[in-house]
Amino acid sequence: MIAIVLFGKPGAGKGTQAEFLKEKYNLTHISTGDVFRYNLKNGTELGKQAKVFMDRAELVPDSITIDMLADEVEKNMDKAGFLFDGFPRTIQQAEALEALLKEKNIRFVGTVGLEANDDVLVQRILERGKTSGRADDQDEKIIRSRYEEYNEKTAPLIDYYTGKNCYNSVDGIGTVEEITTRLSGVIDRLI
């Protein structure tokens, strides 16, 4: 089995692209944001724990997120591998992922980062907020807070993965099809 990390700021297009890539490469798509939202909607204990942080546009603590991710991996060992979206978001999560993949004998093929400028992304998220029903997509102040969290805790992962020679950046501006083609080109080279 293989694992690919789809990396990028909120609004970079990770979720949209994951829909195509998971079919093309027969991967289980795990979006930690989607799993948290599912739990929130269903009022589970995990959902209640995560809500406090999500409402404040902060990251959910690593201990909660890492356990949840490990459960999702455990439940989905039936495809050719995994496409992670929105995880890891901290160095501690990246280290936990590395240990988990090793334990499960899953080959980490690399990180593909979708790059785009903040102003373009904020506009995209506000647009998405009109239909996504996500409160955190509808308020520019909350969106900006998510970027602050990203810059402080998640951006260091670019250096982390570059240092391990497994960060691949892809231009995230263009049509959905153009970006899928760019991503597939990189993934085909990696796998």
Could you say which residues in the range 74-133 bind ligand AMP, by CB under 6 A? Answer: 86-87, 89, 93
Confirm whether residue 18 is marked as ligand binding: no
Q: HEC string of the chain?
A: CEEEEEEECCCCCHHHHHHHHHHHHCEEEEEHHHHHHHHHHCCCHHHHHHHHHHHCCCCCCHHHHHHHHHHHHHHCCCCCEEEEECCCCCHHHHHHHHHHHHHHCCEEEEEEEEECCHHHHHHHHHHHHHHHCCHHHCCHHHHHHHHHHHHHHHCHHHHHHHHCCCEEEEECCCCHHHHHHHHHHHHHHHC
The minimum distance between CB 84 and ligand AMP, in angstroms, equals 9
65 makes contact with ligand AMP (CB under 6 A): yes
Point out the catalytic residue in the list 51, 79, 128, 153: 128
Confirm whether residue 32 is marked as ligand binding: yes
Count the site residues for ligand AMP by CB under 6 A.
16
13 makes contact with ligand AMP (CB under 6 A): no
Please identify, using beta-carbon distances, which residue of 57 and 122 lies nearer to ligand AMP.
Answer: 57
Which segments are annotated as binding site for ATP?
Answer: 11-16, 128, 174
Which segments are annotated as binding site for AMP? 32, 37, 58-60, 86-89, 93, 134, 146
